[in-house]
């Protein structure tokens, strides 16, 4: 029996040591963040103008931070400052654990779509001077929050992929020929090609919030981009219309225009959805 107890104690010692090391590391990180905040506050003492941002915080993997909350940061304001600039400053000077997505900073990648002062916007495109202060920054609604301002985009990407968002045709030109598109047709689909997959429109859509299977405005717009492209041919156009005609496709749209209002690339999403509805009806009409 004594041997068994000794073996058990031996097995638990590494676990205790590992837990202690983890706690020490967490405490060290906490002290480091506290030091960052103190130094940043000292640096702000001579700043002429500052702006407060209230940032949503949530970390399900850290004890004591499982409950959502808001942290307030005081940021030195400069001309031309964007919401993304303010978040980066808060992360670099106050709390290195603050988590959010960003990449190109030119409103092209779509990675920093956020819920800013009650509206879906791109952080890199939104000027702090255009907002009411303090600025409230939250993750996109109607999506599962992974950490802080980061949401799970997997469902959105699945909906986009379901409409087969790539060029398809059975009428390929010869090796020495071009697959021409008329200027008029290019103008027709031009706006739909500007989608940056940011999911702002999906987040604003009340239908998508209540129907998890609804394709959503971004996916339907992507279907429009190819269905209206004259180079794909009638057979592929019919195939795409069959995809978006499903129960959770275009007919679920209630024409609220919320997607059009928040689109950072000014795509007339609601108009495209309505045009696809008309095309679907015409394709099902039979005259004999």
**pLDDT tens-digit series, residues 21-34:** 666 776 676 666 66
Q: What pLDDT shows up at residue 176? A: 80
Homologous superfamily in CATH for domain 154-284: Alpha-helical ferredoxin (1.10.1060.10)
Q: How large is the average pLDDT for residues 75-90?
A: 97
| Whole-Å CA distances, 130 to 102, 134, 198, 286 | 20, 12, 21, 53
Q: Record the pTM.
A: 0.81
Please provide residue 168's backbone torsions phi and psi, each rounded to the nearest 5 degrees. -140, 135
CA atoms within 13 A on the CB side of 139: 22
| Whole-Å CA distances, 101 to 30, 144, 150 | 22, 15, 6
DSSP 8-state secondary structure symbol assigned to residue 166: S
Percent of the chain at pLDDT above 90? 71
Q: What pLDDT shows up at residue 175? A: 78
CA–CA gap between residue 204 and residue 115 (Å, rounded): 10
Q: In the structure encoding, which two tokens stand for residue 243, read together?
A: 């995809």
Q: Which of 32-41, 86-95, 125-134, 216-225 has the lowest mean pLDDT?
A: 32-41
pLDDT at 267 exceeding the cut of 90: yes
Q: Looking up tokens 């020495």, which residue turns up?
A: 176
Q: What pLDDT shows up at residue 61? A: 87
CA–CA gap between residue 44 and residue 47 (Å, rounded): 5
DSSP 8-state secondary structure symbol assigned to residue 170: S
pLDDT at 5 exceeding the cut of 80: no
Q: What pLDDT shows up at residue 23? A: 65
Q: How far apart are the first and last CA of the chain?
A: 92
Question: Which are the contacts of 211, defined by CB distance < 8 A and separation ≥ 6?
Answer: 248, 252
CA–CA gap between residue 43 and residue 266 (Å, rounded): 39
Q: What pLDDT shows up at residue 40? A: 59
The radius of gyration computed from the CA coordinates of the chain, to the nearest angstrom, equals 26
Per domain, the residue ranges of the chain are 37-151, 154-284
Cα dihedral angle (145, 146, 147, 149), rounded to 10 degrees?
-50
Q: How large is the average pLDDT for residues 38-66?
A: 80
**pLDDT greater at residue 19 or residue 75:** 75
CA nearest to 254, candidates 204, 207, 202, 200: 207
Q: What CATH fold (topology level) applies to the domain 37-151?
A: Ubiquitin-like (UB roll) (3.10.20)
Q: What pLDDT shows up at residue 95? A: 95
pLDDT tens per residue, range 174-185: 778 888 899 999
Per-residue pLDDT band at 212 (split at 50, 70, 90) = very high
Q: Which of 58-72, 184-198, 258-272 has the lowest mean pLDDT?
A: 58-72
């Amino acid at each position: 029996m004594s041997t068994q107890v000794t073996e058990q104690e031996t097995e638990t010692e590494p676990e205790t040591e590992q837990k202690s090391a983890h706690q020490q590391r967490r405490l060290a990180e906490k002290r480091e963040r506290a030091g960052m905040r103190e130094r940043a506050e000292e640096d702000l003492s001579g700043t002429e103008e500052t702006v407060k941002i209230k940032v949503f915080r949530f970390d399900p993997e850290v004890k004591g931070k499982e409950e959502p909350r808001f942290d307030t940061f005081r940021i030195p304001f400069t001309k031309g400052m964007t919401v993304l600039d303010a978040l980066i400053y808060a992360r670099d000077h106050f709390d290195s654990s603050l988590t959010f997505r960003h990449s190109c900073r030119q409103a092209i990648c779509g990675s920093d779509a956020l819920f800013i002062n009650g509206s879906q916007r791109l952080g890199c495109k939104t000027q702090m001077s255009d907002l009411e202060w303090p600025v409230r920054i939250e993750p996109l609604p109607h999506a599962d929050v992974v950490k802080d301002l980061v949401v799970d985009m997997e469902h959105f990407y699945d909906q986009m992929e379901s409409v087969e968002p790539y060029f398809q045709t059975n009428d390929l030109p010869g090796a020495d020929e071009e697959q021409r598109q008329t200027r008029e047709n290019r103008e027709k689909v031009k706006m739909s090609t500007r989608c940056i997959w940011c999911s702002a429109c999906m987040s604003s859509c009340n239908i998508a919030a209540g129907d998890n299977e609804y394709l959503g405005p971004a996916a339907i717009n992507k279907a429009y981009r190819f269905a209206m492209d004259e180079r794909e041919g009638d057979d592929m156009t019919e195939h795409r219309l069959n995809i978006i005609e499903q129960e959770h496709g275009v007919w679920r749209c209630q024409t609220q225009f919320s997607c059009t209002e928040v689109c950072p690339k000014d795509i007339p999403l609601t108009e495209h959805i309505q045009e696809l509805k008309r095309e679907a009806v015409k394709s099902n009409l039979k005259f004999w």
